[in-house]
Amino acid sequence: MKNFKDVLSKYMSACLLLVLLGTSLNAQKFDKDLQKLQLAYKLISTFYVDSIDDGKLVENAISGMLTKLDPHSVYISKEEVAKMNEPLDGSFEGIGIQFNIFKDTLMVVSPISGGPSEKVGIQAGDRILVIDGENVAGVGLKNTDVFSKLKGKKGTKVELQIQRKNIKKLISFTVTRDKIPIYSVEASYMATPEIGYVKINQFSATTHSEVESALKKLKEQGMQNLILDLRGNPGGYLKAAIDVADELLPEKKLIVYTEGLTNPRREYNSTSKGLFEKGNVVVLINEGSASASEIVSGAIQDWDRGLILGRRSYGKGLVQRPLNLQDGSMIRLTIAKYYTPSGRCIQKPYDDGIDAYQEEIYHRFDTGEVLHKDSIHLNKNEKYYTKIKQRPVYGGGGIMPDFFVPADTSGYSDYYRDLVAYGILNRFVLNYVDTHRKQMERSFTSFEQFESKFVVGDEIIEKLIREGKNEQLKSDVQAFRKASFPLVKAQIKALIARSMWTSSEYFQTINPSSEVYNKAIDILSSEKEYTNLFH
């Protein structure tokens, strides 16, 4: 027995010695690598032909290291950190307006509800000509100029002089800056007497509370089934995605788990607090739905809680952690992968480099994937099964919808593309609303009246065509007339609705022209069709 203890003691001592030796060797290698990097920096700084910005050189070195890891590990400068955080924080500090620069003049599209501009009486259509005594009209104003002049610390004041239609004199306003919410729920309304609709544009710090409010309101209005629209949603906070999924799943269901080399498996489960744990659900996705959107979609799909409609999602399954540096800059470092409840990682490959990775989404259009389901090549080695009905699902390249709906390109033409790309369509609608606002306010006292009675006539489209010609558009007008009239009429009406009301009314107006939206309505209106799609 004593002999065995001696042998065991010697064995453990040898193991410990090897561990310490390995640690020491690793540390020595790291020191040598660091010395090599420092020497390279010193040689460049000493002998390079031109003067060098040392700070920029270091930033480029950090960026270069991260670029070799994966597409989502990045260096963010001190100046960019605040800009990056603002949309996800759910608020910023300013005067609270949505604006557009129209004919070299700052025009208020709408004051943000409850914000400081609305409180002092600034209206949609007002033109801001002077800010703190400085003329800003006709001077080549850019969006960045507007942000720098109107954003500021809460409690500070800004003096504005505004031109209002049919009033000759300028109107002066003193606006006290305040916290302005950035809403991530762009729209929520009853699509039918029983079907509610919620559109989320990103997952921010306030998304969960916004979704809670939307679900409560829709349930009060009689919602039995739900369309959750995550098309074009690039993601955001992991916690926000988990909280939104929790509203739809029964308790004690795995929503997602994360795992990495130095990060042990961590599971996130649903609670009993969900506001919509029963009732049918359809989630809309496309190639612009990424990250947090895929967490929600994956959890809904894997638990057979609802159906996913649309096109294959982006395929981002990496978890980043923000690591702050001393000067206020930041590294966003990938520390783990996330996995859906079935165990699949939906991260698409990035072995061919960052450029190929970023262009992959456009490659889907070239291969015909967005138009034909048969063009999608599933990774048979990444086959998994849903938790309840054991339906096959696949990892390694985004969330594949349960029901594929191709991109609708029937209304597109080169002339329509150019009208949108060059901002002509938006400017045309702004001018139209500016000219006819008072008349429309008298004719339509509610959005419901506008939706049912307002018609975009051919004469409006002909005016738009003339506007395009004035802007020297060279594309085929006849092809536009033949193919794009229904599409552009729907878009004009929706843009007018947004200018007169909010983005919610925009989606309420434009969605009926969307094939995937209409398919969601059809499926949720038929219990038989909804059930059959799970088999």
Contact of 417 with 366, CB cutoff 8 Å:
no
Instruction: Identify the pLDDT of residue 4.
Output: 46
Angle at 483 between CA 481 and CA 489, to 5 degrees: 70
> Shortest CA distance to 249 belongs to which of 388, 141, 418, 131?
388
C-alpha count within 13 angstroms, C-beta hemisphere, residue 308: 27
Contact of 459 with 492, CB cutoff 8 Å:
no
514, burial (CB in 10 Å: exposed 0-12, middle 13-18, buried 19+):
middle
According to DSSP, the residues that pair with 319 across neighbouring strands are 336
> For the domain bounded by 92-181, which CATH number is listed?
2.30.42.10
Tokens of 287: 């190639």
The rounded distance, in Å, linking the Cα atoms of 129 and 169 is 12
**Residue 249 CB contacts under 8 Å (≥ 6 apart), including other chains:** 255, 270, 274, 277, 299, 300, 303, 305
State residue 146 phi and psi, 5-degree precision.
-60, -45
Q: Which of 291, 301, 484, 491 is catalytic?
A: 291
Report in angstroms the alpha-carbon separations of 21 from 12, 13, 26, 27.
14, 12, 9, 10
Report in angstroms the alpha-carbon separations of 460 from 240, 381, 467, 508.
43, 54, 11, 21
The rounded distance, in Å, linking the Cα atoms of 311 and 225 is 21
Q: Which amino acid, residue 68?
A: K
Instruction: Identify the pLDDT of residue 55.
Output: 86
State residue 110 phi and psi, 5-degree precision.
-165, 145
Q: Does domain 185-407 have CATH number 3.40.50.720?
A: no
Q: Which of 199, 253, 316, 493 is catalytic?
A: 316
Instruction: Identify the pLDDT of residue 191.
Output: 98
Q: Is 475 helix (H, G, I), strand (E, B) or coil?
A: coil
Tokens of 442: 């008298």
Question: How are beta strands 330-339 and 254-259 bridged, if at all?
Answer: antiparallel
**Residue 29 CB contacts under 8 Å (≥ 6 apart), including other chains:** none
Tokens of 403: 């029901």
Contact of 254 with 487, CB cutoff 8 Å:
no
Residues carrying CATH 2.30.42.10, the chain: 92-181
> Shortest CA distance to 458 belongs to which of 431, 485, 440?
485
State residue 73 phi and psi, 5-degree precision.
-85, 120
The rounded distance, in Å, linking the Cα atoms of 426 and 100 is 9
Instruction: Identify the pLDDT of residue 124.
Output: 81
Is 320 marked active-site? yes
The rounded distance, in Å, linking the Cα atoms of 258 and 342 is 13
Contact of 451 with 497, CB cutoff 8 Å:
yes
The rounded distance, in Å, linking the Cα atoms of 495 and 426 is 8
Instruction: Identify the pLDDT of residue 6.
Output: 54
Residues carrying CATH 3.90.226.10, the chain: 185-407
The rounded distance, in Å, linking the Cα atoms of 487 and 410 is 9
Q: Would you tell me how many other CB atoms lie within 10 Å of the CB of residue 87?
A: 16
What's this model's pTM, rounded to 2 decimal places?
0.86
Is 499 marked active-site? no
Q: Is 200 helix (H, G, I), strand (E, B) or coil?
A: strand
Residue for token digits 């015909």? 368
Instruction: Compute, in degrees rounded to 10, the torsion defined by CA atoms 152, 180, 274, 524.
Output: -130
Q: Would you tell me how many other CB atoms lie within 10 Å of the CB of residue 32?
A: 10
> Shortest CA distance to 428 belongs to which of 488, 502, 352?
488
The rounded distance, in Å, linking the Cα atoms of 182 and 151 is 14
Tokens of 498: 């947004």
Is 165 marked active-site? no
The pLDDT tens digits along the chain (535 residues) read 445 445 444 445 554 444 445 555 566 776 788 888 889 888 988 899 998 888 888 898 899 999 999 999 999 998 888 777 766 677 788 999 988 887 788 988 888 877 899 888 898 888 999 999 999 998 888 888 888 899 999 999 999 999 988 788 899 999 999 988 888 999 999 999 999 999 999 999 999 999 999 999 999 999 999 999 999 999 999 999 999 999 999 999 999 999 999 999 999 999 999 999 999 999 999 999 999 999 999 999 999 999 999 999 999 999 999 999 999 999 999 999 999 999 999 999 999 888 888 889 889 988 999 999 888 888 888 999 999 999 999 999 999 999 999 998 889 999 999 999 888 998 899 889 989 988 999 999 999 999 999 999 999 999 999 999 998 898 899 999 999 999 999 999 999 999 899 899 999 999 999 999 999 999 999 999 999 999 7
Q: Which of 110, 320, 342, 484 is catalytic?
A: 320
Instruction: Identify the pLDDT of residue 8.
Output: 46
E strands, 149-304, where?
157-163, 171-176, 178-181, 185-190, 195-200, 225-229, 254-259, 266-269, 281-285
